[in-house]
Amino acid sequence: MRLVRYIRKDKEGCGILEENRIQPVEDLFGLKKSGRPFDMVEARLLAPTAPSKIICAGLNYMDHAAEMNMPIPSEPIIFMKPPSAVLGPGGVIKYPNMSHQVEHEAELGVVIGKTTKDVTPEGAAACIRGYTCFNDVTARDLQKKDGQWTRAKSFDTFAVFGPWIETELDPFNVMVEAYLNGAVKQSSSTANMIFPVYGLVSFISRVMTLLPGDVIATGTPPGIGPMKVGDEIEIRITGIGTLYNTIGM
């Protein structure tokens, strides 16, 4: 099942997407129907959730760690992006004046479905609403300059995800890819994750309470690289679909 948020006739809504038609619902967690279905072309899709927070995992692919010549972490490395950084499908990623090296990072996004605290890895699946494509946009030059990641990761439009939430996905062996102007730049499987999805959700829930709609970006495979104004970037994940955006000022 695919769950969406949208703008239609200047009103925001959410619904279930099936065969290019949207069935409106009151919210994405109870799924109580709230109107008649309509054609998808009548609406503009938004980021599929409005999270209270976005938690990201760094260095979570074996092949990416090898690419960066960095040791395998013993615990997940996590950081956060603010809700103000959210951008949905089709939106323009804004190139900040402060940076001269903005890069793409294709990732599997996890959307939390209920209040989650101190969950075990075995219990994590019941806390997940579904999965989405995520682009952890990063000002790489500022990341290196600052020595920490907050500024580099937090510009408006730097937390890109969508186009929907896919509720039926096995997250343990799906391809995560980035295409820049049609050319593949990143391509790896979630089977190469150092800390798989359920363990990652468990670890984060022992640090902070996760709320419905919160998003976890699970780390990026090798091949990260720069984008420039005018570029087109696609994040493609098997079983979910394609997140398309452009780069602008």
24 and 95 inside one domain: no
17 and 67 inside one domain: no
pLDDT band at 61 (very low <50, low <70, confident <90, very high): very high
Any residues with CB less than 8 A from the CB of 180 and at least 6 apart, and which?
A: 104, 225, 227, 231, 232, 233, 234
CATH of the domain at 42: 2.30.30
SS (H, E, C) 50-84: CCCCEEEEECCEHHHHHHHCCCCCCCCEEEEECHH
With beta carbons less than 8 A apart as the criterion, state whether 243 and 160 touch.
yes
Tens-digit pLDDT profile for residues 178-231: 999 999 999 999 999 999 999 999 999 999 999 999 999 999 999 999 999 999
Question: Which residues, in sequence order, are bridge partners of residue 58?
Answer: 77
Residue 10, burial from CB neighbour count under 10 angstroms (0-12, 13-18, 19+): exposed
Task: Map tokens 């994590």 to a residue.
Answer: 124
28 and 102 inside one domain: no
Our count of domains for the chain comes to 2
Residue 39, burial from CB neighbour count under 10 angstroms (0-12, 13-18, 19+): exposed
Tens-digit pLDDT profile for residues 136-187: 999 999 999 998 899 999 999 999 999 999 999 999 999 999 999 999 999 9
Question: Which residues, in sequence order, are bridge partners of residue 111?
Answer: 130, 215
122 and 164 inside one domain: yes
Q: Residue 65: is its pLDDT beyond 90?
A: no
161 and 122 inside one domain: yes
This prediction's pTM:
0.96
pLDDT band at 57 (very low <50, low <70, confident <90, very high): very high
129 and 33 inside one domain: no
User: In whole angstroms, what is the distance from residue 192 CA to residue 211 CA?
Assistant: 27
94 and 164 inside one domain: yes
131 and 39 inside one domain: no
36 and 68 inside one domain: no
User: In whole angstroms, what is the distance from residue 41 CA to residue 34 CA?
Assistant: 19
22 and 102 inside one domain: no
Is the bond preceding residue 71 a cis peptide, omega within 30 degrees? no
58 and 103 inside one domain: yes
Tens-digit pLDDT profile for residues 85-102: 999 999 999 999 999 999
With beta carbons less than 8 A apart as the criterion, state whether 44 and 65 touch.
no
122 and 15 inside one domain: no
pLDDT at 66: 79
CATH of the domain at 107: 3.90.850.10
Q: Residue 211: give the domain boundaries.
A: 54-248
